[in-house]
């Protein structure tokens, strides 16, 4: 949702000629990198999902699940009993799952290798 709002605002600025398109793309790429890093380093919670599966699809290493009568149980600390977890329910939800290795490869293809990561060993 935050990313969608950012893209919408950037598109509006491009239309008004207040921002070049290549700069907007750089902003979105940086946002994606920052969100991925924040999720990896700061999120320790767990989510358990109970739902009726209406539809699923697998394409290009991406799973998409359309769910009905959904209950999410969220445990903020990543451990402990689910009896104390927060519960959120909704009629419908869509869950998209992507292998994090694919996300890393895509970001690296766009921005170049991460200088903090060691370079892979090359075989002679």
Lookup result for tokens 């950037």 = 10
Provide the pLDDT for residue 114.
58
Is residue 67 exposed (0-12), middle (13-18) or buried (19+ Cβ within 10 Å)? buried
d(CA 38, CA 89): 26
**pLDDT(9) > 70:** yes
In 3D space, the residue among 26, 35, 43 whose CA is nearest the CA of residue 3 turns out to be: 35
**pLDDT(59) > 70:** yes
pLDDT digits (tens, 9 = 90+) for 87-116: 899 999 999 888 777 777 776 776 666 555
pTM, full prediction: 0.53
d(CA 80, CA 84): 8
Residue 17 or 79, more confident? 17
d(CA 119, CA 72): 39
User: What are the C-alpha distances in Å from 116 to residues 30, 65, 95, 104, 122?
Assistant: 16, 34, 31, 13, 18
CA–chain centroid gap for 107, Å, is 12
């Amino acid at each position: 949702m935050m990313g969608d709002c950012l893209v919408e605002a950037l598109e509006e600025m491009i239309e008004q000629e207040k921002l070049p398109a290549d700069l907007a793309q750089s902003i979105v790429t940086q946002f994606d990198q920052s969100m991925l890093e924040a999720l990896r380093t700061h999120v320790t919670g767990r989510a358990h999902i109970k739902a009726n599966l209406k539809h699923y699809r697998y394409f290009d290493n991406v799973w998409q699940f359309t769910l009905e009568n959904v209950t999410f149980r969220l445990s903020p600390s990543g451990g402990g009993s689910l009896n104390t977890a927060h519960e959120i329910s909704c009629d419908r939800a869509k869950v998209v799952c992507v292998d994090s290795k694919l996300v890393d490869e895509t970001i690296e293809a766009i921005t170049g290798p991460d200088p903090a990561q060691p370079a892979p060993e090359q075989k002679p």
